[in-house]
A and B are shown apart, each in its own frame.
Chain A
Amino acid sequence: MRELQLDRGMRRLVAGLLFLCTLGFAGGTLAEEAAAPGAQAVAVAVEAVAAAAPTPQKGDTAWMIVATVLVIMMSVPGVALFYGGLVRSKNMLSVLMQVFSIFALITVLWAVYGYSLAFTQGNAFFGGFDRVLLSGIFDPVTGSVANAATFSKGVYIPEFIFVAFQATFAAITVALIVGAFAERMKYSAVLLFATLWFTFAYVPMAHMVWFWPGPDAFTDAEAAAAAVASSGWLFQKGALDFAGGTVVHINAGVAGLVGAYVIGRRVGYGREAFTPHSLTMTMIGASLLWVGWFGFNAGSALEAGGTAALAFINTLNATAAAALTWTFAEWLVKGKPSMLGAASGAVAGLVAITPACGWVGVPAGLIIGALAGVVCFWGVTGLKRLLGADDALDVFGVHGVGGILGALLTGVFNTWSMGGTGIIDYVNNTIVDTDMATQVGIQAQAVLTAIVWSGVVALVAYKLVDWTIGLRVPEEEEREGLDTTAHGERAYTM
């Protein structure tokens, strides 16, 4: 017994160390970085003399502030209620609490090291440490805030709002995974896993897909080559992911599926009825997601302009189309059109249009949505049975499958002949076409990268957590419900 306790003590210690190491990994070179700001300040001052720092336009800045708030609303309360309604009432608060805590945790980690490692120059997979603790963005002497690049030359937004906007993406991605291991994972395990997976899967994925030096670096062919070489790995390859099909949805979906396998099925799975306790809450959550997603997708344009409007209309249309096709598919196959089906369809449509929204035309948006409704319906029925994992709230079936579909279809519909936008040639300042087969190939590489990277990191992270503090609550506590056993409170006391 004593040995057991010692062992447990050891494991706790290792768990603590794991957490600290993760933070240490980020903070490791903080000391050597400390010397840099002085030099940087000089460089900035010289630059400032050369050309006065451009002022961001108020319209773009205002839109990005609104978009960021909308994405916050997607996590809390959107995802929390969407998921919460789907579990049994005894686990309602545990789901709300896990989503809420993850949002808070990732927001803090993002400010401490996440943003720097994702969105500053480093290698092709991780960024550097220039922006640890968001240092160097605010200059207290001049009172100025640094600019962040958008997708247009000479157009900027204040870097702080870019940091915050991206923080909400990181937070919601980790929160999405909760659905897979809902109703049985330890609260402490959730927090430790979130920290590990965020650091080693989300951050590099965001860097690989989205980090680039910005359009101003593309002055001539030589500069462009250098700029591309300093970008993230998948960005270099030309992968298109407008708002996070790979970074957010495939990433979270795969981590969820791996989690469902590693942690195992819920007690009573397949024998007892796991009826959702409040589809009203789920409908409210899905609707908040739909509204918030306009910030997510249209906000990813980083400017209040035509591209944001294109992303907006596609997000509206694809979601509506997916809600309809899921409803009709369910009606046809299962006999009744359910509210849960319509809500799930809407989310599936939102997921699938996310990578495509700013890269495809209106007919393509409708088609992507329509297909997502049917394919994700299969994802949570036929495919789910095939996979055999208790992915409790279908994180993989909706986000994984929808994300893969959307990422691939972005390659199909980006070309001009399919009504897509093509891509911008920043050297010649023109728009150029993409080749469908080539682009789909590139998209497939991005999808595979996301699946393998997220899958491996998730597997290692779950195993580490399992070995240190344990992933799962005891069976008795699972039967009793996590609300009272883990949090000491009940959702409903009527």
Chain B
Amino acid sequence: MKLVTAIIKPFKLDDVREALSNIGVQGITATEVKGFGRQKGHTELYRGAEYVVDFLPKVKLEVAIKEELLDQVIETITNAARTGKIGDGKIFVTSLEQVVRIRTGETGAEAI
């Protein structure tokens, strides 16, 4: 089992969710986050005061999947979230040791 964590542009959330549903992913957790990478921040000006805003709003997706789906999921997210401009985000993949469905007590791949 793998945990795929993707940081994407907020307005791409619906596209990515739809694309992942289409390939059979059944659950996604989305969180509003802030961060910076190569895109860096921007400058905001309030009357005389100028502030550099380093952290930009992004959406973090967490998707738990069976290992065999990994390549397809990565490809799907990449295609759906890509604009080609700087700041499209990143995908991190980690191994998932255990999953438990709380309602039934099922564990492992069954619980995904």
The answer, yes or no, to whether B105 is at the interface (CB within 8 Å) is no
Which residues on A sit within 8 Å (CB–CB) of B46?
A: 86, 274-276, 338, 340
Which residues on A sit within 8 Å (CB–CB) of B47?
A: 340-341, 344, 380-381, 384, 394, 397
Partner of A381, one of B48, B51, B53: B48
List residues of A (295-335) whose CB comes within 8 Å of B's CBs: 334-335
Given A273-B44, A338-B46, A382-B48, 6 further pairs, Cβ under 8 A:
A274-B46, A275-B44, A276-B46, A381-B47, A381-B48, A397-B47
Complex CA gap A380/B48 in Å reads: 6
The answer, yes or no, to whether B102 is at the interface (CB within 8 Å) is no
The answer, yes or no, to whether A153 is at the interface (CB within 8 Å) is no
The answer, yes or no, to whether A385 is at the interface (CB within 8 Å) is yes
Which residues on B sit within 8 Å (CB–CB) of A336?
A: 45
Q: How far is the CB of B47 from chain A (nearest CB, A)?
A: 4
A selection of 24 A-B contacts at a CB cut-off of 8 Å is: A86-B46, A273-B44, A273-B51, A273-B53, A274-B49, A275-B44, A275-B51, A276-B46, A334-B45, A335-B45, A338-B45, A338-B46, A340-B47, A344-B47, A380-B47, A380-B48, A381-B47, A381-B48, A382-B48, A384-B47, A384-B48, A394-B47, A394-B48, A397-B47
Complex CA gap A334/B47 in Å reads: 9
**Residue of A with least CB distance to B50:** A334
List residues of A (74-103) whose CB comes within 8 Å of B's CBs: 86
Q: How far is the CB of A256 from chain B (nearest CB, A)?
A: 15
1/0 contact trace for B32-71 toward A, CB 8 Å? 0000000000001111110101000000000000000000
Residue from B48, B49, B53 with most neighbouring chain A CB atoms (10 Å): B48
Complex CA gap A385/B47 in Å reads: 12
Give B residues with C-beta under 8 Å from A. Answer: 44-49, 51, 53
Which residues on A sit within 8 Å (CB–CB) of B53?
A: 273
Give A residues with C-beta under 8 Å from B. Answer: 86, 273-276, 334-336, 338, 340-341, 344, 380-382, 384-385, 394, 397
Which residues on A sit within 8 Å (CB–CB) of B45?
A: 334-336, 338
Complex CA gap A394/B47 in Å reads: 9
Complex CA gap A344/B53 in Å reads: 23
Q: How far is the CB of B74 from chain A (nearest CB, A)?
A: 35
Which residues on A sit within 8 Å (CB–CB) of B51?
A: 273-275
Q: How far is the CB of B98 from chain A (nearest CB, A)?
A: 34
Which residues on A sit within 8 Å (CB–CB) of B48?
A: 380-382, 384-385, 394
**Residue of A with least CB distance to B52:** A273
Complex CA gap A149/B53 in Å reads: 57
Which residues on A sit within 8 Å (CB–CB) of B44?
A: 273, 275
Residue from A273, A338, A340, A341 with most neighbouring chain B CB atoms (10 Å): A273
Complex CA gap A276/B45 in Å reads: 10
Q: Which 6 A-B pairs have the closest CB atoms?
A: A381-B48, A273-B51, A380-B47, A384-B48, A380-B48, A334-B45
Complex CA gap A381/B45 in Å reads: 11
Q: How far is the CB of A409 from chain B (nearest CB, A)?
A: 23
**Residue of A with least CB distance to B53:** A273
**Residue of B with least CB distance to A385:** B48
Q: How far is the CB of B62 from chain A (nearest CB, A)?
A: 23
Q: How far is the CB of A323 from chain B (nearest CB, A)?
A: 14
Q: How far is the CB of A207 from chain B (nearest CB, A)?
A: 34
Residue from B46, B47, B48, B53 with most neighbouring chain A CB atoms (10 Å): B47
Complex CA gap A385/B44 in Å reads: 18
Complex CA gap A340/B44 in Å reads: 12
Q: How far is the CB of A402 from chain B (nearest CB, A)?
A: 14
Q: How far is the CB of A180 from chain B (nearest CB, A)?
A: 14
Q: How far is the CB of A253 from chain B (nearest CB, A)?
A: 15
Complex CA gap A301/B37 in Å reads: 60
Q: How far is the CB of A310 from chain B (nearest CB, A)?
A: 32
**Residue of A with least CB distance to B51:** A273
Q: How far is the CB of A387 from chain B (nearest CB, A)?
A: 11
Q: How far is the CB of B16 from chain A (nearest CB, A)?
A: 26
Q: How far is the CB of B36 from chain A (nearest CB, A)?
A: 15
**Residue of B with least CB distance to A338:** B45
Complex CA gap A216/B74 in Å reads: 88
Complex CA gap A211/B49 in Å reads: 41
Which residues on A sit within 8 Å (CB–CB) of B49?
A: 274
Which residues on B sit within 8 Å (CB–CB) of A394?
A: 47-48
Q: How far is the CB of A376 from chain B (nearest CB, A)?
A: 10
Complex CA gap A273/B55 in Å reads: 13
Q: How far is the CB of B41 from chain A (nearest CB, A)?
A: 11
Which residues on B sit within 8 Å (CB–CB) of A276?
A: 46
Complex CA gap A488/B43 in Å reads: 34
Q: How far is the CB of A218 from chain B (nearest CB, A)?
A: 46
Q: How far is the CB of B96 from chain A (nearest CB, A)?
A: 33
Q: How far is the CB of B27 from chain A (nearest CB, A)?
A: 26
Complex CA gap A2/B81 in Å reads: 66
Complex CA gap A336/B44 in Å reads: 10
Complex CA gap A397/B51 in Å reads: 20
Complex CA gap A273/B53 in Å reads: 9
